[in-house]
Amino acid sequence: MLSPQLFFDSLSQAGVNYFTGVPDSLLKTFCAYVTDNVSAKNHVIAANEGAAVGLAMGHYLASGEVPLVYLQNSGLGNTINPLTSLVDPEVYSIPMLLMIGWRGEPGVKDEPQHVKQGRVTLKVLEALEIPYTIIDGSEDHIATTIDDAVRSAQTTGGAHALIIRKNSFEHYSISDKIQPSYGWNREDAIKQIVNHLDERDIIIATTGMASRELFEYRAQQGQGHERDFLTVGGMGHASQIALAIASQNSNRRVICIDGDGAALMHLGSMAINGMSALSNFKHIIINNGVHDSVGGQPTVGFDINLTNIATACGYSYATTCESSDTLAPAMKALFSSNGPAAIEVRVNKGHRSNLGRPTSSPQDNKQAFMQFLQS
């Protein structure tokens, strides 16, 4: 396995000193090391992967230095437009490294949402005519591998991908940053939210821990899962799924349980939500200030005012809850509001170490959910 420090030092020696991207579970120890050791000037955790490519391009234009964009392969689609229409050798010819976590690699057990993406990852890069190097942690001369990748990017005038296999990096824990303490976590909030709903309410839950915690709480309560659509992949798209469902089910409340990182990834969706004027669309953003599912890398969730953004986008009501005792009155106001409405729920970061995953398949979830919508 590779030391995150050794990998980072090898990049620095090759002239790579700018880092941006969206954190990934396979890259989390490297991302943690970068977060701890690179200044904000040279490290930006981007809203989404396409935006990270834009940041990397800007750095190259300003400095002439090869940047690095890190991402999970599930975010590769977000990069395709800027990679082909801006970075490509036939357009602006911008050299950069793409560091891609290979979730769903063929032959390696993974969750359903990663299997197809893992199978086509290399084929997508080949279709994009992006050269790549596969790294599995056994490299004896990683500095040479990185030097070759940087030279490839400089020679072709485009991207060169480093495909990172599972368990390539040694452990490294991000330094604990001082965070506010709210006295409760996301799982506590989800339980309270569910307890305020009735049997006809519809939930769309964002990818990551929120869907897993919702699934387990339903099981603990002896309830079925048909009322909940678990958006197990496609980070950032839960609110638009919820909005379309709300438009077709005007007599039922549709609640999107979102996360700060997911909401930020496609923040423009909030403008579409607000302008819909749908009274049955309710948006609950659980904000813990980190990308909790992929190592706890920070977001800007605690640095911006999500409720002001929501009202500016046309939401009829938006408020922030920072303690469990404020959620009940906020939920009452949420449901009585005449239009799209939002609650930002601020919680502590972290999750249970024994948190399970949904035991039903995505197809089973879909069928049961669609039948519930027709009931």
pLDDT in tens, the chain (375 residues): 999 999 999 999 999 999 999 999 999 999 999 999 999 999 999 999 999 999 999 999 999 999 999 999 999 999 999 999 999 999 999 999 999 999 999 999 999 999 999 999 999 999 999 999 999 999 989 999 999 999 999 999 999 999 999 999 999 988 877 678 899 999 999 999 999 999 999 999 999 999 999 999 999 999 999 999 999 999 999 999 999 999 999 999 999 999 999 999 999 999 999 999 999 999 999 999 999 888 889 999 999 999 999 999 999 999 999 999 999 999 999 999 999 999 999 999 999 889 999 999 999 999 999 999 998
Give CA–CA dist 166/302, Å, rounded.
Answer: 31
pTM above 0.85, yes or no: yes
Tokens, residue 20? 């941006």
Task: Say whether both 343 and 300 belong to one domain.
Answer: yes
Within a domain: 103: yes
Within a domain: 169: no
Task: Say whether both 79 and 119 belong to one domain.
Answer: yes
Range of the domain at 57: 4-164
Task: Say whether both 299 and 252 belong to one domain.
Answer: yes
End-to-end CA distance of the chain: 52
pLDDT at 171: 93
Within a domain: 180: no
Task: Say whether both 143 and 206 belong to one domain.
Answer: no
pLDDT at 294: 87
Last residue of a domain, one of 133, 164, 195: 164
Task: Say whether both 211 and 336 belong to one domain.
Answer: yes
CATH number of the domain where residue 85 is located: 3.40.50.970
Task: Say whether both 81 and 121 belong to one domain.
Answer: yes
pLDDT at 178: 66
Domain count, the chain: 2
Task: Say whether both 321 and 233 belong to one domain.
Answer: yes
Last residue of a domain, one of 109, 134, 164: 164
Task: Say whether both 241 and 370 belong to one domain.
Answer: yes
Secondary structure (DSSP) of 3-54 = -HHHHHHHHHHTT---EEE---GGGHHHHHHHHHHS-TTTEEE-SSHHHHHH
Give CA–CA dist 108/102, Å, rounded.
Answer: 10
Last residue of a domain, one of 112, 130, 164: 164
Within a domain: 264: yes
Task: Say whether both 71 and 157 belong to one domain.
Answer: yes
Within a domain: 172: no
Give CA–CA dist 139/145, Å, rounded.
Answer: 8
Within a domain: 69: yes
Task: Say whether both 156 and 71 belong to one domain.
Answer: yes
Task: Say whether both 152 and 190 belong to one domain.
Answer: no
pLDDT at 353: 87
Q: What are phi and psi of 80, to 5 degrees?
A: -60, -45
pLDDT at 293: 83
Within a domain: 286: yes
Burial of residue 37 (number of CB atoms within 10 Å: 0-12, 13-18, 19+): middle
Give CA–CA dist 365/212, Å, rounded.
Answer: 13
Residue position matching structure tokens 């689609």? 77
Within a domain: 178: no
Interhelix angle 4-13/28-37, rounded to 10 degrees, is 60
